[in-house]
Amino acid sequence: MQAITFIRELEGLQKTVIGLSDVTKIIGKGRDYAKVYVNRLAKRNLLHEVEKGKYTLSEDPHEIGSNLVFPSYISFITAYSLYGFTTQIPIIAQIVSPKSKKTLEIGKIKIIFIKFKNENIFGYHREKFRKKHMFIAEPEKAIIDSLYLPEQCPISESYQALGENIDISKLVEYALRMSSIVAIKRLGYLLELHGQDIYDKVAHMLNKKYDLLNPFMKKSKINSSKWKLNVNEVFESE
């Protein structure tokens, strides 16, 4: 099969990442021949092997990363960047996945996989960005993920993201579904800074332990008795 015919057939599948089984179906040959065939295309730079036995036409790390494992999706500050919630330009593509995977590098971007429990993988959809198809967290889920794992995204970026056009009801729904007490506390406190009070909706989930608003900063002398948070980070508009 000519390369151009193969590529057209592949594009018709609407699959960003394919395996050898897909190749055998397209060319009508066995796996051994398929391996030789895709290696030839790779040498001509018409197809890229992203990991053993997996190939793509794409060169976009976000598209590749979010289509490499199912289910998976882009989240944290990577999602903030794609939604225009931050001026930061991440040099990583953060992918939430139920599996641990080695970091990949596409061009100058590192694709890192953050393992979540299956029950916490929700609130995402397939979307077209810049003519690329990728799975990405809804804005509300990206915020909850970031407050749940602030090592993946600064608290200050989530504070800023909460100033965007965000669905508060969905935020509360997703926070309760994640069942992370500290993420709920952070969300409640940050929303109050934006003039939104969700206390009555989440009070049943709170405990009496004081957690750090930012786990990577020293404890301060300021506490929120309502949210049981040590307020150890102050934001510009406060």
Predicted pLDDT at 142:
98
Say whether both 143 and 124 belong to one domain.
yes
User: Average model confidence (pLDDT) for the chain?
Assistant: 94
The answer to whether residues 159 and 208 belong to one domain is yes
Q: Which of 173, 118, 110, 113 is nearest to 143 (CA)?
A: 173
Q: Indicate the helix (H) or strand (E) that contains 159.
A: helix 155-161
Range of the domain at 153: 61-230
- Kindly state the average pLDDT of the residues 22-37: 93
pLDDT, position 238: 47
Residue 153, phi then psi, degrees to nearest 5: -165, 125
Per-residue pLDDT tens for 63-120?
A: 999 999 999 999 999 999 999 999 998 999 999 999 999 999 998 999 999 999 999 9
- Model confidence pLDDT, tens digit, residues 138-184: 999 999 999 999 999 999 999 999 999 999 999 999 999 999 999 99
Give the DSSP H or E segment for 216: none
Q: Looking at the structure, do residues 37 and 130 belong to the same domain, yes or no?
A: no
Strand-by-strand arrangement of the 211-212 sheet:
211-212, 229-230, 223-224
Q: How confident is the model at residue 54 (pLDDT cuts 50, 70, 90)?
A: very high
| Confidence at residue 143, expressed as pLDDT on a 0 to 100 scale | 98
Does one domain contain both 178 and 142? yes
Task: Give the pLDDT confidence score for residue 13 in this predicted structure.
Answer: 85
Q: How many domains does the chain have?
A: 2
Give the span between the Cα atoms of 87 and 80, in whole angstroms: 9
Contact 38, 29 (CB under 8 A): no
Check which CATH number belongs to the domain holding 34 and give it.
1.10.10
Mark whether 73 and 151 lie in a shared domain: yes
Q: Please report whether residue 128 resides in a domain.
A: yes
Residue 61's pLDDT is 94
Residue 236 lies in a domain: no
pLDDT at 215 over 60: yes
- Do 81 and 183 fall within a single domain? yes
In a domain, 176, yes or no: yes
Q: Is residue 238 part of a domain?
A: no
| Co-location of 110 and 12 in the same domain | no
> CA angle, corner 181, sides to 175 and 186, nearest 5?
70
Residue 235 lies in a domain: no
Are both 146 and 185 inside the same structural domain? yes
pTM, 2 dp: 0.92
Tell me: pLDDT of 45 over 80.
yes
| Co-location of 144 and 189 in the same domain | yes
Could you tell me if 111 and 153 lie in one domain? Answer: yes
Q: Is residue 148 part of a domain?
A: yes
**Proportion of the chain above pLDDT 70, given as a percent:** 99
51 in a structural domain = yes
Helix (H, G, I), strand (E, B) or coil at 129: strand
pLDDT at 236 over 90: no
Q: What average pLDDT score do residues 28-53 get?
A: 92
Bridging pattern class, strands 54-56 and 48-51: antiparallel
71 and 33, same structural domain?
no
Same domain, 13 and 85: no
Tell me the average pLDDT across 116-130.
Answer: 92
pLDDT for 131 beyond 80: no
**125 phi, psi to nearest 5 deg:** -155, 165
Q: How confident is the model at residue 237 (pLDDT cuts 50, 70, 90)?
A: low
* Dihedrals phi, psi of 37, to nearest 5 degrees: -65, -50
- 26 in Cβ contact with 9 (< 8 Å): yes
Spatial contact of 74 and 26, defined as CB atoms under 8 Å apart: no
